[in-house]
Amino acid sequence: MRIRSRGQIAFQIFNYIFLTLLGLCFLLPYLIILSAAFSSESSFLLHGYSLWPAEWSLDAFAAIFGEGSGIFDSFLSSVLITVCGTALQVTVTTLTAFGLSRRNLIGKRALMVVLLFSMLFSGGLVPSYIWIAGTLQLRNNYLAVLLPGAMNAWNCILEMNYLRGVPQEMEEAAKMDGCGPWRMLLRIFVPVSVPVIATVTLFAAVQYWNMWAEPTLYFDSNHRYMLPLTALLREIIQEDTSPSGGGVKGVDETVKMATVVVATLPIICVYPFLQKYFMSGLMLGSVKG
């Protein structure tokens, strides 16, 4: 723990410098995007990407939130999907995890095998599409993107591992007092599981906020207002990543960057505050019982 030799001092200095530079690598893209989003289109075309706007402008954000851009509709759709999806997934997953974490539950082994198998194998995209869009007729329906992710096996196992760490005496004392399953869950387990529930809430929110493949698949061009922001952003960016150079729909570069800012902002704002929870939630949840 103590610094002893010259070599170790040199290493410490190198380590701090290296990690500082690495940290900058993680941050720099955001800063450049922010700068582009707050630049005027003309100065951006002249100077390209930079760390500081040559000419400040809010035009890009005005364009996003202006009428007829469709981007604001998508923002609202993203909020709807994220709020509903997260509430649904956290409820369903926590209930399942709590049920499965009960000792001596008859049929538990079989239930675990089913859960594990669902993580390792799936029918794939085409069968799911035929089932959801064809048989269930959920095209252009928010349920098509909300329901399939409502049960998250990974998060469920994380919660189960965490719940295993809760002292058995608490459970027995509660049973003595005549606590039924539901009161046991709400009064005893939820309060002690705040870190892991906060962790899976963050994971679920990020999962739904970042979802684009399913909405693109299930919402057609007549229901573009339903497309979440990430899905819309992908379409906008695709123009630039096609080899012909694109520019078909002619969305300004600064507007694209402003959309990236709006799409990233909720995550950047919320995540640092949940960090203290997921550090402990993830660590305790991952320790195998």
Partner 1 sequence: MSYLRQNGGYYLMLLPGYLILLLFSFIPMYGLYLAFVDYNPLLPSIFDNTFLGTYWFEVMFTRPDMWKMVRNTLLLNLMKLLICFPAPVVLALLINEIRSKVFKRVFQTVSYLPNFISWVIVSGMLLIFLDTDNGLFNQLILLFGGEPVSWYSDASKWRWILVLTNLWKSVGWGTIMFLAAMTAVDKGLYEAAYVDGAGRLRQAVSITLPSIAPTITITLILTVGKLFSDDFDQIYSLVGDNPILAETTQVIGTQIYANVNGGAYGEFPLSTAYGLVQGIISLILILLSNFAVKRMGQEGIW
Among 210, 223, 252, 277, binds partner 1 (CB under 8 A): 210
CA 152/CA 89 separation, integer angstroms:
7
CA 256/CA 258 separation, integer angstroms:
5
Question: Of the ranges 53-61, 147-155, 161-169, 188-196, which one interacts with partner 1 (CB under 8 A)?
Answer: 147-155
Q: Would you count residue 5 as binding partner 1 (CB under 8 A)?
A: yes
Task: Please identify, using beta-carbon distances, which residue of 80 and 282 lies nearer to partner 1.
Answer: 282
Sorted by sequence, the CB contacts under 8 Å of residue 9 that are 6+ apart come out as 3
Q: Would you count residue 23 as binding partner 1 (CB under 8 A)?
A: yes
Please state, in angstroms and as integers, the Cα–Cα distance from residue 214 to each residue in 201, 210, 271, following that order: 20, 11, 24
Q: Would you count residue 260 as binding partner 1 (CB under 8 A)?
A: yes
Q: Would you count residue 283 as binding partner 1 (CB under 8 A)?
A: yes
Among 17, 130, 170, 173, binds partner 1 (CB under 8 A): 130
- Tokens read off for 193: 């599981």
Q: What mask of x and - would describe binding to partner 1 in positions 158 to 177, judged by CB under 8 A?
A: --------------------
Nearest approach in angstroms of CB 246 to partner 1 is: 9
Contact 152, 88 (CB under 8 A): no
User: Long-range contacts of range 114-123, CB-CB < 8 Å, 24 or more positions apart?
Assistant: 115/153, 115/156, 115/157, 116/153, 118/153, 119/153, 119/154
Among 182, 187, 190, 225, binds partner 1 (CB under 8 A): 182
Q: Would you count residue 198 as binding partner 1 (CB under 8 A)?
A: no
Q: Would you count residue 19 as binding partner 1 (CB under 8 A)?
A: yes
Question: Of the ranges 32-40, 61-69, 165-173, 189-197, which one interacts with partner 1 (CB under 8 A)?
Answer: 32-40
Q: Footprint of partner 1 on residues 228-247 (CB under 8 A)?
A: 230-231, 233-234, 237-238, 240-243, 245
Nearest approach in angstroms of CB 188 to partner 1 is: 14
Q: Please choose, from the candidates 69, 73, 227, the residue with its C-alpha nearest in 3D space to the C-alpha of residue 140.
A: 227
Q: Please choose, from the candidates 138, 174, 150, 33, the residue with its C-alpha nearest in 3D space to the C-alpha of residue 90.
A: 150
The sign one gets for the Cα dihedral 29, 32, 35, 37 is negative
Q: Would you count residue 84 as binding partner 1 (CB under 8 A)?
A: no
Nearest approach in angstroms of CB 56 to partner 1 is: 18
Q: What mask of x and - would describe binding to partner 1 in positions 89 to 128, judged by CB under 8 A?
A: --xxx-xx-xxx-x--xx----x--xxx-x-xxxxxxxxx
Q: How many helices (H) and strands (E) does the chain have?
A: 15, 0
Length of the chain: 289
Q: Would you count residue 87 as binding partner 1 (CB under 8 A)?
A: no
